[in-house]
Chain A
Amino acid sequence: EDKVVQSPLSLVVHEGDTVTLNCSYEVTNFRSLLWYKQEKKAPTFLFMLTSSGIEKKSGRLSSILDKKELSSILNITATQTGDSAIYLCAVVYFTSGTYKYIFGTGTRLKVLA
């Protein structure tokens, strides 16, 4: 069965800490992996990863894909209270003639001042 698993489920840190969020997947015909930040209702796009070993970076956030290990990590350095959110990982794969997305259950991050 195709699945996406994120860990940890929740995390509480203090401002300035660095966090690493994990996403592992089991799908056939993998296409890409995406990270989203969900603060209220609508997830906002962070990164799309398709190639192994190439880090994508945006400010204090970075992410990398390891196709051999079927996983990805999202790093947030120097965390701020505004980073508090649910971070969702989604995997895109090809099946039955179309692309489908599977979302993980997310990691709930809380950053304390």
Chain B
Amino acid sequence: SAVISQKPSRDICQRGTSLTIQCQVDSQVTMMFWYRQQPGQSLTLIATANQGSEATYESGFVIDKFPISRPNLTFSTLTVSNMSPEDSSIYLCSVEAWADYGYTFGSGTRLTVV
């Protein structure tokens, strides 16, 4: 299955600033997914990133707050903009692996906003 390199691994940011998270996949994939996991919660899909088109955002998430880039079939970025403490979460990128293996996840970014 695909191997995903995600960075940064963790960061502590000041409120009002922005952080860009990067994910690099070792193979070409059509769709990449960005998830958020707030403390004590499960994974919530933020958006689906297709190469060459606008990302598709889930209800409750907007492009101005979470702009996504997908310049090619192996790379994507998620930016968390104008951060507030409520944005403190683990952010995960993922790709759909082979049919029998569900998702493969990046190593995750633990974001703390102070």
Q: A9-43, CB under 8 A of B: which get 1 and which 0?
A: 00000000000000000000000101010001111
- In the complex, which of the residues A32, A41, A103, A106 contacts B107, with contact meaning CB atoms closer than 8 Å? A41
Contact B42 A104 (CB under 8 A): yes
Contact B45 A41 (CB under 8 A): no
Contact B110 A41 (CB under 8 A): yes
Please give, as numbers and ranges, the residues of chain A lying within 8 Å of B103 by CB-CB distance.
34, 36, 43, 45, 90, 101
* Complex CA distance for A32 and B106, rounded to whole angstroms: 22
Within 8 A of A (CB), among B83-114: 90, 92, 97, 100-110
Q: Using C-beta atoms within 8 Å of the partner chain, give the interface range for chain B.
A: 20 to 34
Interface residues of chain B, those whose CB is within 8 Å of chain A, are: 1, 40-45, 90, 92, 97, 100-110
22 contacts between A and B (CB under 8 A): A34-B103, A40-B108, A41-B92, A41-B108, A41-B110, A42-B92, A42-B105, A43-B43, A45-B1, A45-B97, A45-B101, A45-B102, A45-B103, A48-B100, A48-B101, A48-B102, A88-B43, A90-B102, A100-B45, A104-B42, A105-B40, A106-B42
